[in-house]
Structure 1
Amino acid sequence: MNLAFLRRRAELLDEVRLFFKRRGFLEVETPLASSEAIPEQHIELCQLDDGRRWLQASPEMHHKRLLCAGSGPIFEVTKSFRGHEVGQRHHPEFTILEWYEPGASLQGAIVTTEALFDTLLNAPAAKVTSYREAFGAVLGIDPHAASIDELRALIQEQAPAAAPFESDDRDEWLNVLLAVCVEPVLGHGQPEVLRHYPATQAALAATTLDEHGAAVAQRFELYWRGMELANGYEELTDPAELRQRLLLANTQRLAAGWPAVPMPERLLAEMVDPGLPPCAGVAIGFDRLVMLATGAQNIGEVTAFSDFY
């Protein structure tokens, strides 16, 4: 442990709370484990030994239930859990900052995120880049139109060891190219917002058409100094569409050899009545934010104890 880093961490926690309370957000506490969860294709969830509850990868499910109940803007700093994610910037147990603002658009979520980083880290304004622009600048392709064969050829050229050779999922190939080729060039000199991912990568975000007529997700991620720090959505509010996406995610999990996750039936019911208001939400890996603030090179340096390092 590094006590200087822990003191800076505590200061940042105080500053986060002050930032949101000054803006009228309610701080909430939600369960770490639940009999229901939100199925996601690429997140390995952890089940408790009782066989009845799942550790939450994010407080999103409970936050949206609070929004349905009329909570207004809310935020939480809490623990989240994801199986077998261990590395320089990953830990199976980590601290997440997440907030939701009724009435906010994707652009509104970006503005709030910029203001938070300015307050905490004196960050300059973010550069905004579309997913299409980033892939075009780095790889010379349109990621919304390129075929799997084109993507496969690029990976064989750029990073053959990273290729998901057996996959026929186009998004798997795009994700590899994003991680290996595009992300390393983002957010140098100033924070950079990458937005308008393909609609097939919308997860729980609303979708729209971009200026070229391609279906895109109302989603952004923020990068700075080589680190992915924030993930934000203009949220999907249609419960029928959400159910279909979550059922598909469970199907994809089973195909990958992971267990299906119990559907968030209480959330889905509350999204019907009384309904989820139009809103935007953002999640930030708080440990990574502390790494950025302190210059730490490893996530284990900014936590009091870590059994993995």
Structure 2
Amino acid sequence: MTSASPWWSPHVHADRRPLLLKRGRIKAAVHAWFQARDFLEVECGILQVSPGNEAHLHAFATERVFPDGTRKPLYLHTSPEFAAKKLLAAGEERIYTLGPVFRNRELGPRHACEFAMLEWYRAGAPYEALMEDCAALLAEAAEAAEARLFTHRGHVCDPFLEPERVTVAEAFAKHAGIDLLATLSEDGTADRDALAEQAVATGIRIVFDDSWSDIFSRIIAEKVEPNLGQGRPTILCEYPVVEAALARPKASDPRVAERFELYGCGVELANGFGELTDPAEQRRRFVAEMDEKQRVYGDRYPLDEDFLAALAIMPEASGIALGFDRLVMLATGAPRLDLVIWTPAAE
């Protein structure tokens, strides 16, 4: 698509239409898969008092105007997570939702400011159950698209193979030669200088005001992610606690959390948690994230006090968010996300 040939041009649409029809078949297969397993489809409101409280997550702001002229700031949600967890607190046990979410400051062949997210939760289930769900859904998507392999920009992944499971520490050692756990204390706090020293030795560029998380993210992007999901899907698990704001620590090692990401063809597809249900700890983490957002971007988002209150009665659960458009992109072999979105937003 170009400025001379927008997506609605008949010849452009004719090229995209086969991919979009496959999108519809994948969507139908996903709904059937969840309904066959007694998941309840829910619809989460898009307007929220808080769009999420992660430092590098950016939202679209709006406001509600009441009949008397008073105004209340609101945001388009970046994920249905807060609303879905409130439904778990209300008593729902297996829920899923597939709908639009909105993220600002994102642009590129794998990003869109408005995209479709598939999110689901299992009350009382370990987060390993979500890993099994992911493996099954990859195969479902491939079958619906009549694809033997996932392909993306020269990379290939077999969605019918059992995903490999690799811890973040193992991936850092293998692909970057970095001892990640040596930079984390027993209580999960991170040693910025220890990680910086190792990163520089492996060729990662560091600047003076980079935080531990900045360096971690750069190593992931430059050294680790390109090697994941090659040949077969990869589940990258046991993220450091400081990189898992909504996940509970692993009982066996409090330095890391019950968080994993799913990869195919070097593309991140999903992000899953064993959910944190301690409202005091969640508040502490949110405040720390917003302090970092204020430092880096000069902005912060309010906390959703209803969400923190709901955590106090929310059952133990696991939940995950999967980028549906990215799944379709890999299943159809499309080189860009906008090719598999019916009406992509103007960039």
Please state which band the TM-score falls in when normalised by the shorter chain. over 0.9
Instruction: Give the one of 69, 84, 94 matched to 2:90.
Output: 69
Distance 1:214 1:31, change over 3 A: closer
Instruction: Give the one of 179, 189, 196 matched to 1:152.
Output: 196
- Mapped to 1, the partners of 2:169 and 2:201 lie a distance apart of 20
Question: Tell me, what secondary structure is at the counterpart of 1:256?
Answer: helix
Aligned equivalent of 1:205 = 247
Aligned equivalent of 1:92 = 113
- Mapped to 2, the partners of 1:196 and 1:141 lie a distance apart of 16
Asked if residue 35 in structure 1 is aligned to residue 56 in structure 2, the reply is no
Q: State, as a whole percentage, how many aligned pairs show the same letter.
A: 35
Amino acid at match of 1:105: P
- Mapped to 2, the partners of 1:266 and 1:188 lie a distance apart of 41
- Mapped to 1, the partners of 2:61 and 2:207 lie a distance apart of 27
Aligned equivalent of 1:233 = 273
Aligned equivalent of 1:78 = 99
Give the alignment's Cα RMSD to 1 decimal: 1.8
Aligned equivalent of 2:343 = 305
User: CA contact under 8 A between 1:86 and 1:308: conserved in structure 2?
Assistant: no
Amino acid at match of 1:123: F
Amino acid at match of 1:227: V
User: CA contact under 8 A between 1:159 and 1:180: conserved in structure 2?
Assistant: no
Structure with bigger gyration radius? 2
Moved more, 243-252 or 147-156: 147-156
Question: Tell me, what secondary structure is at the counterpart of 2:35?
Answer: helix
User: CA contact under 8 A between 1:209 and 1:215: conserved in structure 2?
Assistant: no
Instruction: Give the one of 45, 48, 51 matched to 2:62.
Output: 48
Moved more, 16-25 or 257-266: 257-266
User: CA contact under 8 A between 1:144 and 1:214: conserved in structure 2?
Assistant: no
Aligned equivalent of 1:25 = 39
Instruction: Give the one of 223, 228, 252 matched to 2:263.
Output: 223
User: CA contact under 8 A between 1:135 and 1:143: conserved in structure 2?
Assistant: yes
Aligned-residue offset at 1:85: 0.2
Aligned-residue offset at 1:43: 0.3
Aligned equivalent of 2:209 = 166
Aligned equivalent of 2:4 = none
- Mapped to 2, the partners of 1:214 and 1:28 lie a distance apart of 33
Aligned-residue offset at 1:157: 5.8
Aligned equivalent of 2:149 = none
Aligned equivalent of 2:22 = 8
- Mapped to 2, the partners of 1:33 and 1:71 lie a distance apart of 21
Structure 2: which 5+ runs fail to align? 1-12, 65-71, 143-158, 184-190
Asked if residue 138 in structure 1 is aligned to residue 175 in structure 2, the reply is yes
Distance 1:62 1:307, change over 3 A: closer
- Mapped to 2, the partners of 1:153 and 1:270 lie a distance apart of 42
- Mapped to 2, the partners of 1:132 and 1:124 lie a distance apart of 23
Question: Tell me, what secondary structure is at the counterpart of 2:181?
Answer: coil
Aligned equivalent of 2:314 = 276
Write the mapping of 1:280-291 to structure 2, written as runs, cut at 5 A.
Answer: 280-291=318-329
Amino acid at match of 1:170: W
Moved more, 105-114 or 187-196: 105-114
Question: Tell me, what secondary structure is at the counterpart of 1:277?
Answer: coil
Aligned-residue offset at 1:158: 5.4
Question: Tell me, what secondary structure is at the counterpart of 2:85?
Answer: helix
Aligned equivalent of 2:9 = none
- Mapped to 2, the partners of 1:49 and 1:137 lie a distance apart of 48
- Mapped to 2, the partners of 1:100 and 1:296 lie a distance apart of 29
Aligned-residue offset at 1:46: 1.4
Amino acid at match of 1:35: V
Aligned-residue offset at 1:164: 4.6
Aligned-residue offset at 1:254: 1.1
- Mapped to 2, the partners of 1:92 and 1:4 lie a distance apart of 23
Amino acid at match of 2:170: E
Aligned-residue offset at 1:156: 4.4
User: CA contact under 8 A between 1:163 and 1:176: conserved in structure 2?
Assistant: no
Asked if residue 252 in structure 1 is aligned to residue 292 in structure 2, the reply is yes
